[in-house]
Amino acid sequence: MPELGYDNLCTLGRRKNSNNERDLSPRSKMKIPYLLLTLTCVFTFSCTHAKIGYFWHITDFHYDPLYTPQGDTRRYCRRADERGSSGHHRALGRYGDYSCDSSLELIESAAKYMRTRHSENVEFVLWTGDIIAARYTGNEDDRYRAIRNMTELLGRTFSSHFVFPVLGHLDPSPSETLTNLWMHWLPLEALQTFKIVLGHLDPSPSETLTNLWMHWLPLEALQTFKIGGYYTIEQSHSKLRIVALNTNLFGIREVNSAPAKAQWEWLDAVLDKAQSNKEMVYIVGHAAPGTDLRPAYNSLSVDANAKYLRTIRRHAKIIAGQFFGHLHADTFRVIYDKDQPVSWALLAPSVSPHHDPTGSSNPGLRLYKFDSDTGKVLDYTQYYLDLAAANRAGSGAEWTAEYNLTQYYGLRDVSADSLHNLADKLRIGAPHETAMFNKYLRAYNVKHESADNCDGACAHQHFCAITCLEHVAYRQCVEAAASALAASAQSADLLLPALHVLFTLIIILVIFV
């Protein structure tokens, strides 16, 4: 008998009912509505009694202690010296500037706003790295002080919640300083692996960072965190496990190092254990797999990227979500296995404002809604700050909801299939591609006005980045689009003269006939 798909099963069911309808007694017919009613009640009960929880995802603070509204954009919004105060710089805003890293007031306004949203139902916070400004030139003590200030700010904001931090590429190397700073967030097991890397890179400062974060992390997590900057959190009240990666170890310089190999072995062991225990897993990191259309933001080496994707495919059934930052943009990734979508990753925009040659973005915060028993992500709300408007007002930063994921894109759920279908609508040549892609681009730039600056080739690069996470596949996807666009342009060049001749002939016929 051939294998039955969903449509065949429905057809078979209808055929069976049709063939046996005459044989049903009145009593048996009466049982059917009651059975359907019972099933409906059971289904409704299970859906309405899901334990709903929330968690924040915040990333890329890029906090610059030296930011000042009297600063010079040529000096990254820091105070100009006498030679730099010739009047060539423009006035800066209280909450920051698109050309610079974050001011303290911007980050404080974000923390204040988060405290007002679903505070009683927030289960935890994912903090995915790049705490300090990219161009901050302070010494080790200055950098530690900046991280401590951000840690204490989040501690006051989420006084009764766990914050789970991961390392960004701009954060201090996993050393004793970092281990001590985060040890209050991490279990001991996490601290042990974290400390190993710290010892390789900078043995003296690691203990400080571990201690700073230890109130957020269990002892087990702190152990691996101290060794390698990665850890796992087992949720005592559910079957959800959080796996926090050190994606710095996936970079080109680290790909063959002993700490990188240790993280791969640890990750395989953790996922195997989760599978045996029938747990669902959130994978959290700074840099996502794949390739971005902005080459400067590609952090994973070719080998590490391929290995990570193989790992995800192997364990796709237990991975309930992947959460990353780093790109300073709002986007997503779909992972395929034999052309079938099997997993997804959501990339949150940065708290820091952003500007580069391809566009700018406003500061953003993200609040996820999830089933805290199963870990299933149900939705998220993206919040943003119109930085230009906030600076003009001067009196206060008005953070507001930008969009809700399922409503904004018309998704039936948050799944690999739904995000695959969304990506397909962004593809060149797809129906309604322009309207849907423009919505995506507005979200990508967090409602910054630069969202309109993207032509057909740019649009296809976005599609390739979302769906082709292997480096070679991404290049092939982009090159195929470029060839298609070139052929289309060539056809247009040949067609226009012909149309011109035809139009001329029509005019002549109208005049002389």
Q: What is the CATH number of the domain that holds 383?
A: 3.60.21.10
Is the pLDDT assigned to residue 496 strictly greater than 80? no
Please tell me what DSSP assigns to residue 241. E
CA geometry: angle at 256 spanning 254 and 261, to 5°?
95
Check residue 235 and give its pLDDT.
83
In 3D space, the residue among 109, 104, 99, 45 whose CA is nearest the CA of residue 77 turns out to be 99
- CA–CA distance, 181 with 158 (Å, rounded to integer): 17
Q: Is residue 483 predicted with pLDDT exceeding 80?
A: no
Q: Is residue 507 part of a domain?
A: no
Q: Is residue 216 part of a domain?
A: yes
Nearest to 232 by CA among 259, 206, 193, 262: 193
Longest dimension (CA), the chain: 98
Position 315 confidence tier, pLDDT thresholds 50, 70, 90: very high
Asked if residue 25 is part of any domain, the answer here is no
Instruction: Name the token pair of 337.
Output: 């296995």
Read off the pTM: 0.80
Q: Which residues pair with 132 in a beta bridge?
A: 63
The more confident residue out of 378 and 427 is 378
In a domain, 201, yes or no: yes
Neighbours of 158 (CB within 10 A): 20
> pLDDT tens-digit profile of 264-309?
999 999 999 999 999 999 999 999 999 887 766 677 999 999 999 9
Q: What are the C-alpha distances in Å from 54 to residues 120, 166, 258, 348, 371?
A: 9, 19, 37, 15, 8
Query: Does a structural domain hold residue 245?
Result: yes
Q: How many domains does the chain have?
A: 1
Cα→Cα distances 167→62, 109, 170, 324, Å:
13, 23, 8, 11
Residue 503 belongs to a domain:
no
Higher-confidence position of 494 and 167: 167
pLDDT for 111-121, tens place per residue? 999 999 877 78
Give the structural domain span for 191: 54-467
How are beta strands 122-127 and 52-58 bridged, if at all?
Answer: parallel
3-class state of residue 343 by DSSP: strand
In a domain, 9, yes or no: no
CA dihedral 258, 133, 106, 98 (to 10 degrees): -120
On whether residue 454 sits in a domain, the answer given is: yes
Q: How high is the pLDDT of residue 346?
A: 99
Q: Which residue has the higher pLDDT, 476 or 136?
A: 476
Type of residue numbered 30: M
The CA angle 370-376-378, to the nearest 5 degrees, is: 50
CA-nearest of 142, 179, 97 to 390 is 97
Relative orientation angle of helices 456-467 and 471-512, to the nearest 10 degrees:
150
Q: In the structure, what pLDDT confidence band is assigned to residue 405 with cuts at 50, 70 and 90?
A: very high
CB 213 within 8 A of CB 167: no
